[in-house]
Chain A
Amino acid sequence: MPDTIQIDDDVLSRNLSGPIDKVDPSEAALFENNVHHEVFRRLRREDPVHYLPDSPFGPYWSITRFKDIVTVDSNHKVFSSQPSIVIGDPSDDFQPPMFIAMDQPKHDVQRRAAQPAVAPTQLSDLEALIRQRVCNILDSLPVGEEFNWVDKVSIELTTQMLATLFDFPFEDRHKLPFWSDVATTSDAVGVAGVDMEWRMKHLTECLEYFSRLWVERAGQPQKFDFISLLAHNDETKHMIDDPMELLGNLMLLIVGGNDTTRNSISGGVYFLNKNPEEYAKLKADPSLIPNMVSEVIRYQTPLAHMRRIALEDFEIGGKTIRKGDKVVMWYCSGNRDEEVIEDPDAFRIDRERARHHVSFGFGIHRCMGNRVAEMQLRILWEEIMNRFDRVEVTGEPTRVSSNFVTGYTDLPVRLHAKT
């Protein structure tokens, strides 16, 4: 299966062999064609803390090494998450507040209000339900026929999980991935040709739908879904009176639980097919699944970056970041850093210390749903191994054009039954 490179040669050669001070790793075409790793390898080697004075997203710093990412990510006093955590600012200036893009102390109270929905204790209660749903999805798949794994498995499973976390009406659940796609389809992350009015119209629908749920939940005893938790918490119950803040947090929780795990589900299938010896290891020893899950999350890095704004001058990697500068931490690069991860471009399901990756971020904004993500992936692979001899990838995937969400829209597969 040769990788089909459709990328404009200019974009790649400019970034790989042009002058280092002009390198711009934020071009969405690099990600869509899965060649961004080559650009980041160059940056880590030649200019790991890299300043680009001019780009479609304005001037920005790139942080590309694992250790520097940990330094920036855990220093929330110097590196602010406000007003946004993606590289660009949308052309329509529509940036509703959400706790991932807030600093202390407001971030802390809102995150703490939502967190019980994804706490380990709550998840152990949900495990049997998730397993049942995984089994239902896998049992409904055609064996021996080609189909799109992204639609039938990755999206369906994460949608059902998200519906559970919101206690969202199950029959309307397909609205959730739609709203998630609407939220991430923005010119702020390099997606070309977005109709920002169309985007706003659907985000407003999302807000209206959830406002109704909120009012309903507020009038009932508290449960452990996101809406009920926020509606009953003293610190967040007034969010309903601030529609932009409610919408912002909804976008955060929907995207956070959707676009990320979805792409690790697809990525795992693809990586095992690209590395048949790893698939053989998995078959020989399914107890490797939890470790493999961490390796898939590292190797996929579903969110390629997070951005910060420096609140004061800061020295890092021999450079001085100035107060007010935009700083982009490239998680996709930290996860391939040769200095920290041995043979980082290899996908190895039995890798030692596989949890030592940067995909969930570090510091106070570290991914809140990391355990839900790992649990979903673990259960899915346990049940795949119970049912199928092989999930065969039958063609190259189609990838998302974005410098933020690293993922797939299409992954053709064929299932082989166990003999």
Chain B
Amino acid sequence: MPTITYIDHDGGERQIEAKNGETVMETAIKNSVPGIDADCGGACACATCHVYVDEAFMEKVGQPEEMEQSMLDFAENVQSNSRLSCQITVSDELDGLKVTTPESQH
């Protein structure tokens, strides 16, 4: 099972054993990782599961699709490594992925 590390904005780390096929958002919610609201439940429709992806994994995670980009346009403090975690699906390839949650989800 791939391991994902969630880092909160203060630097606190949580390592979670994730299931292939679930999203980085779902993994966080199931494991009560704070800092991710996911108000829309994973429909790429609210931008409240915003995370910063560790630079080393940017290529493996891939680029946001058009709808995700539209939603990110209205999130707070967006950076070049910003993604919506409901749009990142866990796979063996992402073992060791680190994501940082922003100070607040808008």
Which A residues are closer than 8 A to B by beta carbons? 70-71, 73-74, 76, 104, 108, 111-112, 115, 119-121, 355-357, 360, 362-364, 366, 368, 370-371
**B interface residues with partner A (beta carbon < 8 Å):** 37, 39-41, 43-48, 67, 70-71, 73-74, 76-77, 103-104, 106
Evaluate contact between A366 and B45: CB separation under 8 angstroms.
yes
Least Cβ–Cβ distance between B75 and chain A, in angstroms: 10
Judging by beta carbons under 8 Å apart, are A362 and B46 in contact?
A: yes
Assess whether B43 is in contact with A120, with CB atoms less than 8 Å apart: no
- Residues of chain B with a CB closer than 8 A to A112's CB: 73-74
Measured CB to CB, the nearest residue on chain A to B40 is A362
Known: A120-B104, A362-B40, A371-B106. A74 touches B45 (CB 8 A): yes
How far is B73's CA from A108's CA once the two chains are assembled, in angstroms?
A: 8
Known A363-B45, A371-B104; further 17 A-B contacts with Cβ < 8 A = A70-B40, A70-B43, A71-B43, A74-B44, A104-B70, A111-B74, A120-B103, A120-B106, A121-B103, A360-B46, A362-B43, A364-B71, A364-B73, A364-B74, A366-B46, A366-B47, A366-B74
Q: Give bound CA distance, A26 to B30, whole Å.
A: 39
Q: Which residue of B lies closest to A74 (CB)?
A: B45
CB-based closest 7 A-B pairs: A362-B45, A74-B45, A120-B104, A355-B39, A70-B43, A362-B40, A363-B45
User: Which residues of the other chain, A, contact B73 by a CB distance below 8 angstroms?
Assistant: 108, 112, 364
Q: List 10 A-B contacts (CB under 8 A).
A: A70-B40, A104-B70, A112-B73, A120-B103, A355-B37, A355-B39, A357-B39, A364-B74, A366-B46, A366-B47
Distance of A358 Cα from B76 Cα, bound (Å): 21
A267 nearest CB across to chain B (Å): 19
For A70, A112, A363, A364, the residue with the greatest tally of chain B CB atoms inside 10 Å of its CB is A363
CA distance A175 to B5 in the complex (A): 51
Q: Give, as a whole number of angstroms, the nearest-CB distance from B7 to chain A.
A: 19
Name the residue of chain A whose CB is nearest to the CB of B43.
A70
A356 / chain B contacts, CB cutoff of 8 Å: 39-41
Residues of chain A contacted by B37 (CB below 8 angstroms) = 355
In this complex, what residue of A is CB-closest to B41?
Answer: A356
Is the beta-carbon distance between B45 and A73 smaller than 8 angstroms?
yes
CA distance A366 to B39 in the complex (A): 11
Q: Are A120 and B76 in contact (CB under 8 A)?
A: yes
* Min C-beta distance of B82 to chain A, whole Å: 15
Residues of B within 8 A of A104 (CB): 70
Q: What is the bound-complex CA distance between A120 and B37, given in angstroms?
A: 14
User: Measured between C-beta atoms, what is the minimum distance from B88 to chain A in Å?
Assistant: 18
Closest-by-CB residue of B relative to A108 is B73
Q: Which residues of A contact B67 (CB under 8 A)?
A: 74
On whether the beta carbons of A115 and B74 are closer than 8 Å, the reply is: yes
Which residue of chain B is the closest to A122 with respect to CB atoms? B76
Contact B74 A119 (CB under 8 A): no
Chain A proximity of B37: nearest CB distance (Å):
6
Residue numbers in A under 8 Å from B43 (CB-CB): 70-71, 74, 362
- CB proximity of A45 to chain B, nearest CB, Å: 22
